Amino acid sequence: MQDNKSRRGGVFSYLLALLVIFALNFILPRMMPGDPLHAIYGDEALVAMTPQMEAHLIELFALDKSWSEQMVAYVLALLQGNLGFSYYYKDEVSAVIMGALPWTLLLVGLSLLIATALGVILGIESGYRRRERLDRGLLAGLMLLAGLPDFFLGILLLLIFGVSLHLFPLSGALTPYSGLEGLPLVVDIARHLFLPLAALVLVDVGGIYLLTRNTVVTILKEGFMLTARAKGCSEFCLRYSHAGRNALLPVTTATGLRIPQLITGALFIEIVFSYPGLGLMLRTALDARDYPLIQGILLLATITVLTANLIVDHIYKRLDPRVRYAY
């Protein structure tokens, strides 16, 4: 009963969190000193702006009306998917973001998959051999990695493998103007992706590893493990079908917590490697004070995080029969 209530509460808090973000996006520019149009678009934008455009924008945001009418105009624009106009890229914010989004999705998606798989496998092996040399080494090494700030880990990889050893390209996602097609293009993309991906996976894998290891250590003491051993399960089956499967539950829950870290981590790491995703675009927008673009990127990131958490809540319910039967 309690569980049921708290889950429904979960959806409600996500909605509230989303409202908080919308409210911040609405209020922050209007709290700044001076003309709200300046605050919404930034001083630099207005230099290039024609009087007609200014009049159009004032009408669009209802800036000459009361706050309540401005709010209605803001919500209507959002509902139409209109995030505003990026003066720096001279295009609609939504179009600009869509151009960078695939690279970030590639980076975050792949690192989520690789880090989860790696973390779970290492965690199971390490928990199974608790206090042997492999376990101690992995524990110390991964704890150290998890403690490093993500952007410095990226910088380290860049300095070692890019700057000093010249093994990988220093920046970008493709070699520009190379005219590559087919397989060479894929290889080129993979070469550019490798270092940012490695950095993101290394930062992320520690938490999942630690969680799996600790869960496996507790599961090994359970009665069903003894039963499985008694009925003649192989070591592999013991480790993965019995211990590993049970360890997946907390891993799924933790995935919800990891996604915000992964997304912000990707933003930072893209900046380090000048990888042309949302992170690098955010850095450009911050430097140019292109406020509509900053708002758009951060809004998208927040919505992704909240949706991911919501989905994880539901997957969790499907994975664990105990939670499902609680209804």
- Of 77-96, binders to another protein (CB under 8 A) are none
Pick from 123, 196, 206, 244: which binds another protein (CB under 8 A)? Answer: 206
**Cα–Cα distance, 263 to 298 (Å, whole number):** 11
Residue 167 makes contact with another protein by CB under 8 A = no
Is position 141 an interface residue for another protein (rule: CB under 8 A)?
A: no
Residue from 93, 203, 243, 280 in contact with another protein (CB under 8 A): 203
Of 31-39, 99-107, 184-192, 229-237, the segment contacting another protein by CB under 8 A is 31-39
Stretch that binds another protein, among 54-62, 174-182, 185-193, 278-286 (CB under 8 A): 278-286
The token pair that represents 100 in the structure block: 């960078």
Question: Are 126 and 189 contacting, i.e. CB atoms less than 8 angstroms apart?
Answer: no
Q: 203-217: buried (b, 16+ CB within 10 Å) or exposed (e) per residue?
A: bbbbbbbbbbbebbb
Cβ–Cβ < 8 Å for 282, 78: no
Query: With binding defined as CB under 8 A, does residue 264 bind another protein?
Result: yes
CB 157 within 8 A of CB 198: yes
Distances from the Cα of 77 to the Cα of 72, 89, 127, 255, angstroms: 9, 20, 52, 33
What is the per-residue DSSP string for 134-151? Answer: HHHHHHHHHHHHHHS-HH
Between 100 and 119, how does the x/- string for binding to another protein read (CB under 8 A)?
A: --------------------
Of the listed pieces 46-54, 81-89, 103-111, 282-290, which binds another protein according to CB under 8 A? 282-290
By CB under 8 A, name the one of 61, 276, 302, 312 that touches another protein.
Answer: 302
Q: Count residues contacting another protein (CB under 8 A)?
A: 71
* Position among 46, 110, 214, 228 found at the interface with another protein (CB under 8 A): 214
Which of 82, 260, 288, 319 is close enough to bind another protein by CB under 8 A?
260
Nearer to another protein, 224 or 234 (CB): 224
Residues in the chain: 327
Q: Are 269 and 192 in contact (CB under 8 A)?
A: no
